[in-house]
Structure 1
Amino acid sequence: MTAETTIAAAERHVLTITVDNEAGILAKIAGLFTARGYNIDSLTVADITDGHDVSRITIVTHGPPEIIDQIRAQLERLVPVHKVVDLTEVGPYVERELALIKVAGKGENRVEALRLADVFRAKVVDTTTASFVFELTGAPEKIDSFVSLMKELGLVEVGRTGIVGMIRGAEAA
């Protein structure tokens, strides 16, 4: 395997899939990834219409372009799938993730956790005399950095939503 092959194999792709909101569709989609032996790094699903009849699934995965193209083609063949877009290929896009981060500490560690939360624009959503729960929204790298810093200050628990992405500009994906 050459260096170029290794880089291609590790390409990150953000796929958005618009589907009918029906039972079993998520299992079918996850099954396509499982059958090919590819991991889903992040998965989010939410209803996107007033009538609750259409959902948007965002999947982050790694793989060479030819495998991602194959997965896209197979996803597009599923009857309840309306549209599959690889945001990574369509141009500039925005991605965000939400995390809840619980940090326990007293004294200087507590003060430092609050100071860092302010720098990262994390919001305190719960507090006790011994802990905080911070809410942080941003790029996954921003959340990773904040979590890493909190490990030294008393990190207790992390919950993450997964990535949601959207192309930039006035057009829909």
Structure 2
Amino acid sequence: MPSIKDVVARNFKMRKSKMVALLLPSIWHPFFSELAYYIEDELDREGFKLMLCNSGGKPEKELYYLDMLRQNKVAGIVGITYNDIENSVSNDIPIVSIDRHINKIAINDILAANYIERARRQGIRVPEQPVEEMARMAIRLLYKKIEGETLDQQVYRLPVAFKQGETT
């Protein structure tokens, strides 16, 4: 079994890795931790590893992470950010952004995240499926970007339908 140093050295030499970063504003919030769970699960199925980057919603920390991820040659990034970091996103790393449209790169903008969170705050029970599907869709799109495929569209939306009477 190769050592961690050998794997890192091979990744640098080959200029690719099996590491994907998840950039979140908080791991404290249940929505983000649930999303991280499903993203890690989907990555693991394909032999990728997850690097969790918890920015605390601070733009300077997000910029630090973006630079660190570029230097470490991650295979791709899935991110949720509420800060204006568009000009700092590198074009050489495939990225899928959830709930924000960044014009420089092909994006998965799943607006359902806002609706899910708003419903939960109002005490409406939201089934797990939308968050799981959001994670799986994001990773499927990221795989396509990593493989150099052109996406059919720039914005992907996950439809969410709430059923009346399903409250806590």
The TM tier, using the shorter chain, reads 0.3 to 0.5
- Tell which has more relative contact order, 1 or 2 (C-alpha 8 A, sep 6+): 1
TM-score norm. by structure 1 comes to 0.32
The structure with the greater share of residues assigned to strand is 1
Which TM-score applies when normalising by structure 2?
0.33
Q: Which has the higher helix share?
A: 2
Larger radius of gyration: 1
